[in-house]
Chains A and B, each alone.
Chain A
Amino acid sequence: AQKITQTQPGMFVQEKEAVTLDCTYDTSDPSYGLFWYKQPSSGEMIFLIYQGSYDQQNATEGRYSLNFQKARKSANLVISASQLGDSAMYFCAMREFALGGGADGLTFGKGTHLIIQP
């Protein structure tokens, strides 16, 4: 079973509109972290925002916010007032600690290709 599911392969959004990128996850580990990364065409992975499983508040970082619904196992990224420079691939990722011993590599979804149109 997929651990991270991103159901939107691609999205077109008008500049200055808000956009929501969907992410659902599957884990039985009570302690986990959820991350969003941006990957422009140049290829580097840029960290955007983090949400811990025990965090009571939704995470926010500038124009990025994470809509965390734990019961639904959903961690959607919201970008407010989109800009042309936001065009990129966006990946949702999860860190679990079930393996123990400090193993905490990220499991990524397949990504959403976001294109901002002027």
Chain B
Amino acid sequence: EAGVAQSPRYKIIEKRQSVAFWCNPISGHATLYWYQQILGQGPKLLIQFQNNGVVDDSQLPKDRFSAERLKGVDSTLKIQPAKLEDSAVYLCASSLVAGFSTDTQYFGPGTRLTVL
């Protein structure tokens, strides 16, 4: 079974530029998450989708970050304009359904963003 796919793996941009990350979850997984992991810290949840609807975006900086999950499968996370403090690894995860305590989140390899 294929895992969570993410692209690109690495991205370097100048501040104030825009950038987009793509995620393809495990086949059949209804729930998709985006996390931000700053160097030396644990991942922090940015947004959670259930199918193509947003379940939780309380920690998403909505002035510059946006995300969508069209057709309930692939998802795109965008930053516009980027700031220096956005330098981090952006991790996508998926799970079969939300709300079941035993359901495991499986993570993709991440996209490492460097903002200069």
Contact = CB atoms under 8 A, between A and B. Distances in A.
Interface of A: 4, 31-33, 35, 37, 42-47, 50, 52-53, 91, 93, 95, 97, 99, 101-111
A108 B109 contact: no
Contact of B99 (A32, A42, A104, A110): A104
A45 B101 contact: no
Interface in B72-116: 89, 91, 93, 98-99, 101-102, 104-110, 112
Nearest to A32: B101
B56 A105 contact: yes
Contact of B102 (A4, A52, A108, A109): A52
A14 to B, nearest CB: 26
Contacts of A45: 43, 91, 93, 107
Contacts of A91: 42-43
B8 to A, nearest CB: 13
Given A35-B105, A103-B55, 17 more contacts: A37-B107, A44-B108, A45-B43, A52-B102, A93-B42, A95-B101, A101-B55, A102-B55, A102-B98, A103-B48, A105-B35, A107-B45, A108-B42, A108-B43, A109-B42, A111-B41, A111-B42
Given A47-B106, A97-B99, A102 B43 contact: no
B109 A99 contact: no
Given A44-B109, A45-B91, A105 B33 contact: yes
A31 B42 contact: no
Contacts of B99: 97, 102, 104
Nearest to A42: B109
Contact of A33 (B48, B98, B102): B102
B67 to A, nearest CB: 13
B50 interface: yes
B62 interface: no
Contacts of B104: 35, 47, 50
A33 to B, nearest CB: 4
Contacts of A47: 104-107
